[in-house]
């Protein structure tokens, strides 16, 4: 698993925004400013759709006020699914998305889990990272089902403790 002080890897991904999907690299997306990256097992999956993503959308203004320049969600889904999820969730324009269709970024970050038993293949673990200018400042990985350590409220508390 990626550690504090490590640079984010450069992996080919698709960036999904309100403007559409573009080919780019993970370090290009995560390399400037203070970024919160949260990773989810899958778009439209119950916990991701009902608890994780909505918390970041609802707290976007607070995160920005606390110094976050960009909010990014990464998932191992194709960019069409990711765009549809962002639209349905009302998140596009507030959250940018990384479509990591082949789980290459999940693997490079050491945040990959095997969900083949559930018919989902390799996926991200549920986590969040604070990244400053392309270097990881903090890593929050869920150790149980649900959204606790990697949710927006936890990130706000970490920002208050570390950056105030």
Helix (H, G, I), strand (E, B) or coil at 39: strand
- Would residue 48 show up in a list of annotated catalytic residues for this protein? yes
Q: Between the CA atoms of 143, 54, 156 and 96, what dihedral angle is there, to the nearest 10 degrees?
A: 100
Token pair of 61, please? Answer: 């203004």
Alpha helices in the chain (DSSP H): 26-30, 46-47, 53-58, 60-65, 79-88, 104-109, 152-163
Is 98:75 a contact under the CB 8 Å cutoff? yes
Active-site residue, from 48, 91, 106, 129: 48
Q: Which residues are catalytic?
A: 48
């Amino acid at each position: 698993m990626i550690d504090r002080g490590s640079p984010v890897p450069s992996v080919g991904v698709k960036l999904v925004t309100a403007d559409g999907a573009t080919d780019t690299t993970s370090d290009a997306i995560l390399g400037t400013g203070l970024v919160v990256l949260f990773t989810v097992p899958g778009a439209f999956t119950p916990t991701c759709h009902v608890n994780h993503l909505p918390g970041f959308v609802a707290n976007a203004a607070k995160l920005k006020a606390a110094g976050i320049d960009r909010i990014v969600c990464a998932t191992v889904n194709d960019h069409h699914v990711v765009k549809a999820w962002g639209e349905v969730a009302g998140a596009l324009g507030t959250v940018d998305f990384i479509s990591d269709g082949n789980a290459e970024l999940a693997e490079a970050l050491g945040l990959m889990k095997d969900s083949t038993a559930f018919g989902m293949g390799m996926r991200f673990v549920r986590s969040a990272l604070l990244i400053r200018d392309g270097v990881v400042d903090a890593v929050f990985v869920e150790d149980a089902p649900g959204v606790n350590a990697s949710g927006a409220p936890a990130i706000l508390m970490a920002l208050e403790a570390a950056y105030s």
